[in-house]
Amino acid sequence: MQNLTVSRERAAHIVPASVAIQHQFFPVTCLGLVLLNLFTFAYHFTGSTLFNTLSNSVSLLLISFSVYVLILGKEGSGFYKILLVFACVLVGTSFLANFGAFEIADALKLLSLYTFYIAGRSVGARWHPVEKLCIYALVALPFIFKLVGTTKLFVGADFPDVFAYFPNTNTAALYFTASLFALSHWFESKILILQFVNVVVMNRVGAALATILAIAMCSVFPLSKAKFVALFALVIASLFAYALGALDRLLTGLDAIALIWSLDPSTVSRMTYKQLIHLTGTTDLSAFFRIIHWTNIWDYYSSQGLGGILFGYGAGQTSIIAVIPVPPHNDYLRVLAEFGPLSFLAFVVFVLSIVFSLKQQGAKTLFTVLLIYFLSENLIDNFTSMTLFFSYAGRLTSAASSGDSSA
């Protein structure tokens, strides 16, 4: 009888293989991202397409693993699985409607946001020390690259603002924000101090403005004494940054935007860059560039027939059909124009449900930075950043997310 009791106790402690695989989701994902960025590092350092192929292969393996984990998960993700199926149907319909003018890779990038989130949400609360080490490595790699070499890919006048193996410092700033978001479980609200360091070091208008707006939106309501103190600290930090000149580009950009709104956007879209420089007195025309680009995309999209409006003009097609041959620099507009209004609605419902579900103040603020930053950049293209944001958002909004860190 005693042996039978011992056998039952041992059996009770045996973890099913499927559960064991789920528990390894974050260590595998973080290690995979480190490997992917090492290949990206090597690709930009050598220019060899072999390393690009390897990094893309790792991306596909991580997406496949997230799909496998979400299929194994059975609790707390019913709504999001339905949303994922809905998004897949819509993307598939857009593919059929735009057959021959549709980039599968761009569609996978969008759908992977759903799969990483659901997979992260289905995982238990155990936090592995290796995750933190991997995220530290992800933060360090771009700086190591800057020390040892320069990219052989992002060169010439088209890339005036390269940072390590990122095409620009806006992308780099978001990458570091995503890393901080993944670390928010360990650092909690203190993570916002590091985000200010990120904003000052990168000195980007988008990152600074998104961070300030996100902190204001997430801190003011509901009101409390501690939040008034935090807002006061934000004001002091902003004044200090202004005194150092860190906000000069932000203020110039705001002046340019104010001038644009005093004009008709269609009029601005017909002006040359030389005319815009003469009008504004500045060569920093990033705000004008975006307004012109968005106006052109909207004009093209809205002029399509009913089928084009309902299903978009095809994933990844903006850089082919637009006057300015680059993606939209607005991920909301990108989803709307390339996939259609129903895909856009599903995407907005998805990201808003996440931010409203996040309880930890630091994490909620950094995810809000992402949602604001979606308005001015092509962030869905940054695989590592999106994987960190959405997989860890899944974990932090899971019912089991209150577990203690094992580090």
Residues 6+ apart with CB under 8 A from 213: 368, 372
Residues 6+ apart with CB under 8 A from 62: 28, 29, 32, 33, 36, 387
106 has a pLDDT exceeding 60: yes
Q: Tens digits of per-residue pLDDT, 391-406?
A: 999 999 987 665 444 4
Q: Tens digits of per-residue pLDDT, 332-341?
A: 999 999 999 9
Q: Is the model more confident about 353 or about 249?
A: 353
* pLDDT at res. 407: 46
Are 336 and 312 in contact, with CB atoms under 8 Å apart?
yes
Query: Phi/psi at 327 (nearest 5 deg)?
Result: -60, 170
284 has a pLDDT exceeding 80: no
Are 389 and 367 in contact, with CB atoms under 8 Å apart?
yes
- Separation of alpha carbons 114 and 92, rounded Å: 15
In the chain, % of residues over pLDDT 70: 75
User: Which segment, 266-280, 293-307, 344-358, is predicted with the most confidence on average?
Assistant: 344-358
Measured CA distances, 338 to 18, 116, 296, 302, 319 (Å): 37, 22, 14, 12, 11
Terminal-to-terminal C-alpha distance of the chain: 40
Residues 6+ apart with CB under 8 A from 300: 313, 321, 322, 337
* pLDDT at res. 66: 95
266 has a pLDDT exceeding 60: no
Q: What angle do CA 351, 354, 356 make, to 5 degrees?
A: 110
* pLDDT at res. 201: 84
356 has a pLDDT exceeding 60: yes
Residues 6+ apart with CB under 8 A from 212: 234, 238
Residues 6+ apart with CB under 8 A from 85: none
Mean pLDDT, rounded, for 189-207: 83
290 has a pLDDT exceeding 50: yes
Mean pLDDT, rounded, for 268-292: 64
- Separation of alpha carbons 388 and 181, rounded Å: 8
**Residue type (1 letter), 373:** Y
Secondary structure (3-state) at 50: helix
- Separation of alpha carbons 12 and 21, rounded Å: 18
3 has a pLDDT exceeding 70: no
Q: Tens digits of per-residue pLDDT, 49-71?
A: 999 999 999 999 999 999 999 88
* pLDDT at res. 405: 46
pLDDT band at residue 274, thresholds of 50, 70 and 90? Answer: low
Q: Is the model more confident about 17 or about 184?
A: 184
Measured CA distances, 325 to 286, 328, 333, 343 (Å): 15, 9, 16, 23
Mean pLDDT, rounded, for 192-203: 86
Mean pLDDT, rounded, for 39-45: 95
- Separation of alpha carbons 322 and 105, rounded Å: 19
203 has a pLDDT exceeding 90: no
Q: Is the model more confident about 56 or about 319?
A: 56
**Residue type (1 letter), 210:** A
User: Which segment, 34-43, 162-171, 181-190, 353-362, is predicted with the most confidence on average?
Assistant: 34-43
pLDDT band at residue 322, thresholds of 50, 70 and 90? Answer: confident
Mean of pLDDT over the chain:
82
In the chain, % of residues over pLDDT 90: 47
185 has a pLDDT exceeding 90: no
Prediction pTM value = 0.83
Q: Tens digits of per-residue pLDDT, 369-391?
A: 999 989 888 889 999 999 999 99
* pLDDT at res. 323: 77
pLDDT band at residue 205, thresholds of 50, 70 and 90? Answer: confident
26 has a pLDDT exceeding 90: yes
* pLDDT at res. 86: 96
